[in-house]
A and B are shown apart, each in its own frame.
Chain A
Amino acid sequence: MTTMSSRNPMTTTTQIKWTLSCLTLLSLVACSGSNNNTNNPPPVKTIADRLDYTNPTSGTYTLVKDTALSTSTHLVLNLMGPVGTQGTGVGFYLTADTTKVTWAKVSGGDAEYVKNGAFTLGSGTQLLKSKITTNQLQGGVFQKGTTAPAVTFTATGPLASVALDLKSNVSLGAVTFSSIAGQAVLTNGSAAPAPIVISYGSLAAN
């Protein structure tokens, strides 16, 4: 619920206002010419008010920012698979510095901290599960065996999505974030789960 409050629209409004003031200030300086010693210096920003994520530049399975669903403090990351590869589910472990960010559900009505992207989960009890342990998030979304055809991965369709929210009063700087090596698998029908490597980008609180 704390995460939900960090996405208060008011915060977004404040940020916009601050930006306009700065532009106004810059205009005034330009107009006044050398008469600048009569102005106060701009305020120094020390507390982060947004999360910046830089997508990885390479990798087979990648975590990329969902720009549509992300806000300045709510970062939605999509797990993308190699185009043309088929699969029926993925499972993975992610870790983040939870002193600065907190694992969040992609959307407010989600039941789990992982959201299905491409897979057909079928009826009855679905194989969609997440679990947060301190700074780790484990998530899995799987089709049931061979009950549905395997999904062919595309460049635009995420396999699954997760989200992070910026905590309050977080100092500026990099935020530790990674995919835990050796703790990610791909399922494909009834075949034994195969290990995969998820490439991730850099996260910073600004």
Chain B
Amino acid sequence: MYSITSSTVRKTTNYGATAWAALPSSPGTGLRNINTATTDPLVLGVTRNGGNVTITTNGGTTWTNYPIGSFPNTAGGFNYIWFDTTDATTVYVASAFPDITKNHLWKKVGAGAWTAIDAGGFPTGIPIHVIQNDPLNANTLLIGTDFGVYRSTDGGSTWARYGQGMPLMAVRDLYIAPDSSFVRAGSFGRGVWELVAGATLNVAITAPAAAVTLVKGGTQSYTANVTNQVSSTTVNWTVAVGGGTFLPTSTTNGAPTTVFTAGTTANTFLIKATAAEDLSNNTFATQNVTVVDPTSVNVVVSPAAPTVISGATQGFTAAVTPITNTAVTWGISPAVGSINPTTGLYTAPATPPASAQSVTVTATSTAAPTRTGTATVTVPVLTISVSPTTANVPLATQKQFTATVTGSTNTSVTWSVFSGGGSVNASGLYTPPATTGSAVVRATSVADPTKFADAAVTIVTAPISVTISPASVSVIPSGSQQFTVNIQNWTSTSAVIWSVVEGASGGSVNGTGLYTAPSGTGTFHVKVTSVEDNTKSDTATVNVQNPVTITITPTVAYIAPGASATFVGHPSTGGTNYSVVGGAANGTITSGGVYTAPATEGDYQVKAQAQADNSKFALADVHVHPIVVTVTPPTATVQVNTTQQFNASLTGNPNTAVTWTVQEGAAGGSVDSTGLYTAPAAAGTYHVRATSVADGTKFGVATVSVTSAPAISVSVSPAAVTVSPLGNQTFTATVTGGPVGVTWSVEEAGAGSITAGGVYTAPVALGTYHVRATSTTDPSKFGRATVTVVSPITSFSISPATATILLDPTPGTVVLTGAVNTGAINWAVSGGSLSASTGTSVTFTPSTIGTFTVTATASADASQFRTATINVKTRNLDGAGGVDVLDLAKLAADYGKTGATATLPADLNGDGVVDDADITIFLAGF
């Protein structure tokens, strides 16, 4: 940190904990402000009275002074110096001198001259108290002035007010957050303000189109919206020269509309809305406006030539180009019908014209009233017609006539009998009189009563009708069927003639209509014809087929009241109709054969009837009785882990099979397929269930009370014992209150082992251990014995501990002796041979070279043993042939080597070194 007095700059590097030290030299007198360069701790500068700026680049050893004459257009008053935080050679100096004719902010880059940078949108002559750059962008500068905060984003070339919502007031100091997220401005008497970064002044224009086209002198309204302003939403409207005028020329967000009036020059012009708050005029929005001559405006009406009947409407549209204002005014000529002047909807006259009319529809441009477009509407006359125009109507019948009206939306007609007899109703249905003759039926237009159409009617007598019954029938081969005939309107005779259309192959029919089928199957036709008018006849269809059979499955069913069962009919041909014998009281059945039993217990029948011959059917017996499952014994009490046999009986169904389960699941025990229940280990009340296989919803239940078993106790004998290491001890377990089975274990790790029969083997390690016998029935119950492992051996040694002998020319020997305080000594060796396996002294004789271990074990404690190491050597050092000078060569090479004798073959005396003594031994047998 640095501090200044009137002529001295002092520095502390420990926050003033010790005395501040003056820099090596003084920059001069009248110090006003000091600042340092972020990127170079040796660079700092001061402002001084008299318009001096003094900078050192070597930590104050020497200083360079820039007098007032170094700064263009200044009156001095330098009160702030700032080094670019990314470049120590870029320096800013601010002046608060109250002279509006002077500059107040300068910048110096490297060795360049001081340049004033308080222009480009900055109010001229305003005192500046502080300048800093954005830590993240050195080209973004913030200055505190008597008129608020200004910001430059281009290193000082242009400036704009900064700080949305901050009043216009004097700012004396600034703090910019290291991450540039906010700025704090210390005001002169109005507190500290925090300005949030990121809000940029913006202007947006609202217009009917992105680019407006007007005729000369045409007008267009515009609005502008200013956002992120500091204090003003005012915009100033301007347009390129010759383009037109704005009224008013300024708007705000609260009074947003200005009207632009195009000039008299056809061209494209740029209009601009500039934010007044940005004195640099760099914040604006623009839009193009094109001015055209009215003669270039075209109006096209669509549709161009429609026909509109009386009472109908027709909508028209007008396409106006190229101007933005496409509004038109609609009119017609002559005044036949009417048109909406705004929407262009044309309505034809309600009364049809006597002759077809042609009407011109005109659309006139609102913006260019001299420009129009037209369409032609045709209004047709009304026409009417009747169908049929002629008709023969038999006596006692009726005839329907229809009328068609065109040229009007009102197509209603009035029906009448213009001449002759009979009557006609409002819908055109004509009824003839009782006698033959002629008549005229007329339809008159309601829309135009002068327009009508007629139909000529001839009333004639009724024709003979012949009807055979039945019209269709099935008959078995050689079977018969009686047909009847109904003949109407006969005048001379009602006699008829019966025949088979297919001839004799289709069977025969007699004069009374009795038909006899042929012996074969097939489809044939019986015809009956009027004798009076043989053009009148009727025909019946006969289907000759074999007899139908049918069966049903199942033939017997057992279900509970209210339950369902499905039956299937199997007809020889065709489908099946199902029914319940005796009606719904005995149950119901669907067309698909699903029978539902009644609530009443009983025996019923289901019928399957052949559709091809409903005389054929099959019956199924349905026994409706409830299934009852009974479990015995219904209750039982058993101990945990024991069994209980249950039995089940079932009535109401011949299938008496049941499935056994325990209601509580595995926690309640288990039951096998024969009903043998095994109680769980936990006492409680459980339920054994036998469920009908025939009906899984029917079951019987037995309740089982499972009681706890008597407490099990386990004891071990002997309860305490002393054993030698690796010694054995047999234990026995006694179990009371349960099965005698136990599991033997040793409680401590490494404390020996025990067999399933209770034979314990002590470990080598001495100590006190415990043997445990655990009940196999209740693992929580066990007994234990204490085992103390002690050794009887207190003194035990053998000699020698090591020895080295030669195998050649004759094998050497080693006599080993041992002493132990109790018991015998057992001897063993890893190679060679011993003269005895027990005793206090044995002789070792080798059979080959090598290192051998003789082990002496105390018979009283097998864990106690001592060892002796015997090295057996040979002078045949190269392992080839006998002992010769080549072996001597080996010895010569190994001479002087030391180490474990087992690794030194030439160390013949085993003293760990190959030396002259080994040579002597070698040569002695050479």
Asked if B114 lies at the interface with its beta carbon under 8 angstroms from chain A, I say: no
B805 to chain A, nearest CB (A): 21
Chain A residues with CB under 8 Å of B916's CB are 124-125, 144
Chain B residues with CB under 8 Å of A88's CB are 892
Closest to B884 in A: A138
**B883-926: which have CB < 8 Å to A?**
884-886, 888-897, 914, 916, 919-920, 923, 926
- How far does the alpha carbon of A144 sit from the alpha carbon of B891 in the complex, in Å? 8
B619 to chain A, nearest CB (A): 114
> Contacts A131-B926, A190-B897 given: A143-B884 contact, CB under 8 Å?
no
- How far does the alpha carbon of A90 sit from the alpha carbon of B713 in the complex, in Å? 87
Chain B residues with CB under 8 Å of A185's CB are 886, 889
A126 to chain B, nearest CB (A): 8
Chain A residues with CB under 8 Å of B885's CB are 91-93, 129-131, 138-140
Q: Are B888 and A142 closer than 8 Å at their CB atoms?
A: yes
Chain A residues with CB under 8 Å of B891's CB are 127
* CB-contact partner of A192 in B888, B893, B897, B920, under 8 A: B893
- How far does the alpha carbon of A127 sit from the alpha carbon of B890 in the complex, in Å? 11
Q: Are B888 and A129 closer than 8 Å at their CB atoms?
A: yes
Chain A residues with CB under 8 Å of B896's CB are 144-147, 190
Q: Are A193 and B914 closer than 8 Å at their CB atoms?
A: no
A91 to chain B, nearest CB (A): 4
Interface string of A114-129 (1 = CB under 8 A from B): 0000000000110101
Asked if A158 lies at the interface with its beta carbon under 8 angstroms from chain B, I say: no
Q: Are B926 and A129 closer than 8 Å at their CB atoms?
A: yes
Closest to B877 in A: A193
Q: Are B889 and A187 closer than 8 Å at their CB atoms?
A: yes
Closest to A119 in B: B892
Question: Interface extent on B, as a size class?
Answer: 20 to 34
Q: Are B923 and A129 closer than 8 Å at their CB atoms?
A: yes
Closest to B923 in A: A129
Closest to A139 in B: B885
Asked if A183 lies at the interface with its beta carbon under 8 angstroms from chain B, I say: yes
> Contacts A125-B916, A129-B923 given: A145-B894 contact, CB under 8 Å?
yes
B542 to chain A, nearest CB (A): 127
Q: Are B886 and A187 closer than 8 Å at their CB atoms?
A: no
- How far does the alpha carbon of A144 sit from the alpha carbon of B918 in the complex, in Å? 12
Asked if A44 lies at the interface with its beta carbon under 8 angstroms from chain B, I say: no
Q: Are A127 and B919 closer than 8 Å at their CB atoms?
A: yes
* CB-contact partner of A91 in B888, B897, B920, B923, under 8 A: B888
Asked if A81 lies at the interface with its beta carbon under 8 angstroms from chain B, I say: no
- How far does the alpha carbon of A190 sit from the alpha carbon of B886 in the complex, in Å? 14
Q: Are A142 and B920 closer than 8 Å at their CB atoms?
A: no
Q: Are B920 and A89 closer than 8 Å at their CB atoms?
A: no
* CB-contact partner of B893 in A92, A129, A138, A145, under 8 A: A145
**B127-142: which have CB < 8 Å to A?**
none
A114 to chain B, nearest CB (A): 9
Chain B residues with CB under 8 Å of A189's CB are 893
> Contacts A125-B919, A125-B920 given: A144-B895 contact, CB under 8 Å?
yes
- How far does the alpha carbon of A189 sit from the alpha carbon of B892 in the complex, in Å? 8
Q: Are A142 and B892 closer than 8 Å at their CB atoms?
A: yes
Chain A residues with CB under 8 Å of B926's CB are 129, 131
Chain B residues with CB under 8 Å of A190's CB are 893-897
**A90-141: which have CB < 8 Å to B?**
91-93, 124-125, 127, 129-131, 138-140
* CB-contact partner of A193 in B886, B919, B920, B923, under 8 A: B886
Q: Are B897 and A142 closer than 8 Å at their CB atoms?
A: no
- How far does the alpha carbon of A147 sit from the alpha carbon of B896 in the complex, in Å? 8
Chain A residues with CB under 8 Å of B894's CB are 145, 190
- How far does the alpha carbon of A192 sit from the alpha carbon of B877 in the complex, in Å? 11
Chain A residues with CB under 8 Å of B893's CB are 145, 187, 189-193
Closest to B919 in A: A125
Closest to B926 in A: A129
B109 to chain A, nearest CB (A): 81
Chain B residues with CB under 8 Å of A144's CB are 892, 895-896, 916, 919
Closest to A92 in B: B885
B841 to chain A, nearest CB (A): 35
Chain B residues with CB under 8 Å of A130's CB are 885
B152 to chain A, nearest CB (A): 88
A132 to chain B, nearest CB (A): 12
- How far does the alpha carbon of A124 sit from the alpha carbon of B884 in the complex, in Å? 21
Chain B residues with CB under 8 Å of A187's CB are 889, 892-893
Q: Are A147 and B886 closer than 8 Å at their CB atoms?
A: no
- How far does the alpha carbon of A146 sit from the alpha carbon of B892 in the complex, in Å? 9
- How far does the alpha carbon of A106 sit from the alpha carbon of B889 in the complex, in Å? 22
- How far does the alpha carbon of A129 sit from the alpha carbon of B924 in the complex, in Å? 11
B917 to chain A, nearest CB (A): 9
Chain B residues with CB under 8 Å of A139's CB are 885
Chain B residues with CB under 8 Å of A145's CB are 892-897, 914
B199 to chain A, nearest CB (A): 91
- How far does the alpha carbon of A92 sit from the alpha carbon of B884 in the complex, in Å? 10
**B856-900: which have CB < 8 Å to A?**
878, 884-886, 888-897
- How far does the alpha carbon of A140 sit from the alpha carbon of B890 in the complex, in Å? 11
By a beta-carbon cutoff of 8 Å, the part of chain B in contact with chain A is 878, 884-886, 888-897, 914, 916, 919-920, 923, 926
By a beta-carbon cutoff of 8 Å, the part of chain A in contact with chain B is 88-89, 91-93, 124-125, 127, 129-131, 138-140, 142-147, 183, 185, 187, 189-193
13 more A-B residue pairs beyond the given contacts A145-B896, A183-B886, A190-B896, with a C-beta to C-beta distance below 8 A: A91-B888, A125-B919, A127-B891, A131-B884, A131-B926, A138-B885, A144-B895, A145-B895, A145-B897, A146-B895, A187-B889, A190-B894, A192-B890
User: Considering the complex of A and B, which 10 residue pairs feature the smallest CB-CB distances, nearest first?
Assistant: A140-B885, A145-B895, A142-B892, A145-B896, A193-B889, A91-B885, A144-B895, A91-B889, A124-B916, A125-B919
